[in-house]
Structure formats: C-alpha cells, structure tokens
Amino acid sequence: MRSSIITGLLLGSCGFAAHAEAGNCTAIDTLPATIGTPGLYCLDQNLATAIVSGNAITINTDNVTIDCNGRSIDGSAAGPGTVAFGIRAQNRADVTIRHCSIRGFYIGLQLGNTDNSNSQGHLVEHNHVDASTMVGIDVQGWGSIVRANQVTDTGGRPSVGTAKGIFVQGNGLVANNLVSGVKPAADSSWGNPVGIHAVSGPFEVVDNRILGVVTIGSNGTANGILAWMGPSENVSSYRNNTIINSGATPGYGIYIDTGNKSVCRGNTVANYANGLAACFDGGGNVSR
C-alpha cells in the first residue's frame, strides 16, 4: 500500500525486525527526499544521487526517526567539489538517525541549529559516514547523543585544509565512536584537521577512538579532540579516549581552550607533539 504524506518520496510500509522498530515504517525510495511528517522512516534499498548542492534527505519536522537498516545513501558521483548534504535537519527536535551508510557528501549528516534554541534531543547512532569532504557528522543542539558511529576518510575538498570527523555544539554525550582518517586536501598548503570538535557544553566525551588525523608536513596543526567550552562554568569530561597517529604529528591530542576547567582522565595519546593542553589532569592519562 502506498501513500503520499511527504514531498518527493514514494512511500510504502516495511517491517525490518533487525533494525527498524517492530511493525511499520515509511520507505524512502528515491532521492532527493523531504520528510514533513513525524514518524519512522527506513530504507529498503541502497540509494544514490549525483546532486552537487542541497540535501539528499531533508527533515522538515520534529520527532523523526530514520533507520536505514544498514543500507546506503551515496553522493559520491557529485565529486570532491560537492556542497551537498546527505541527511540534514535545521532547528528540529528529537531526530534519530541510525544504521545508515552515508558516503561522498560535503557533510554526511547534519542536525543543525541556526537560532540557538530549537535543536535538541537528537540521537545519532550506529552509522557509517565515509568520504565526506568537509565534516562527517555534525550535531548541534541540547541533550543530544552521538554514539557508536564509524566516521572514515573525511576531508579532501579541493584547496581546503580543514576537515572534521565529528562536530558537536550544545551539550550531550559523544561516546564509543571510531573516527579514522581526517585530512586536508592534497592540494592545500596547510592543514588543521580535527577528529572530534566540541563547542559550548558541557559534554561527556568518552571511549572514542580517533586514528589518523593528519596535516601537511609542519604547516598547520592536527587535533584529536578540540574543544571550546565558552563560559568557565561549562566544564566537560574527556575520559578513556584513544587518540593515535602512525607518525609524529604537529598539534594536540586533546586541546581545551578555556583553561583548567574541564577534566581529562584515562586518555591515551600517541604521536602528537602535545598530549593534553589546558585540561585538568584527572589521572591515568598517557602521552607518548
């Protein structure tokens, strides 16, 4: 049975016991697609698009769950100069994205916040975001969770030296993610890549693995975890993160730019010029 409650989609019912919640979901069958009604949405096939701008999937309402059931949303045909987003919502609340493979977009997944009030309560989990040219996962809002995602091969937009595996702004939990391979473009003369970048807070950043955040020679700095907490009361916790590069790297394993307000405990940093900066050492940190 098909219906047409959202713009730009062919709709149907599906029940994927392994991922999508028991019973029914609305299938996203074509790209680009716009979701305008709260509910549970899913993919029952791999999807691809060659758009070079705009969004493959736009979420225009609150209380939406997208469960891709392990299937893919592929924008790589647009090439490295793309400015298209994979999944995007602006100023929405209670959006969940899970089990999606998102590849080849400017920003793979963004739950954005332009007015500093509406975006909140998001959950982004168990996704694989690959080959984003600027940012893999971007979640802005309050009380959000980004956990158990795999973010690989981020960066490479022509002539651009910055890239971020995961960017979060507001407050919440960032846990058990793997960020592997964040790099500037090969034709850039500088590089400031970041594995996980947190703004505002408080955040708990725990049990993440950040591997291979590299810059171009000594021209620039690489940061495994970079945080700007704003007011001094925004104390955050950075625990049991592993941040490793294969060779000597200029930059910081963990850099907190507000002084000894946040606490770092049990982190392992290897092959960065600096282990921890401006973070209160709560013990058990290892840097080599």
Spatial CB neighbours of 60, under 8 Å, sequence gap ≥ 6: 34, 35, 36, 89, 92
pTM of the model: 0.91
Distance between CA atoms of residues 109 and 129, nearest Å: 8
The reported pLDDT for the residue numbered 115 is 74
Q: Mean pLDDT in the chain?
A: 89
User: Shortest CA distance to 73 belongs to which of 108, 25, 107?
Assistant: 108
* Range of lowest pLDDT (159-163, 192-196, 242-246): 159-163
Instruction: For residue 178, count other CB atoms closer than 10 A to its CB.
Output: 16
Region 3-21 average pLDDT: 39
Is residue 214's pLDDT more than 80? yes
* Range of lowest pLDDT (7-21, 145-159, 236-250): 7-21
Is 128 in a helix, a strand, or coil? strand
Confidence band of 10 (pLDDT split at 50, 70, 90): very low
Under 8 Å between Cβ of 109 and 97: yes
* Range of lowest pLDDT (63-77, 95-109, 246-260, 266-280): 246-260
The reported pLDDT for the residue numbered 23 is 52
Spatial CB neighbours of 249, under 8 Å, sequence gap ≥ 6: 213, 214, 215, 222, 271, 272, 273
Under 8 Å between Cβ of 195 and 166: yes
Confidence band of 233 (pLDDT split at 50, 70, 90): low
The reported pLDDT for the residue numbered 20 is 59
**pLDDT tens-place string over residues 134-148:** 999 999 999 999 999
Is residue 218's pLDDT more than 70? no
Confidence band of 11 (pLDDT split at 50, 70, 90): very low
Give the distance, in angstroms, between the CA of residue 217 and the centroid of all CA atoms in the same chain. Answer: 26
Q: What is the dihedral of CA 54, 56, 60, 65, to 10 degrees?
A: -150
The reported pLDDT for the residue numbered 38 is 98
More confident residue, 23 or 102: 102
Region 69-94 average pLDDT: 97
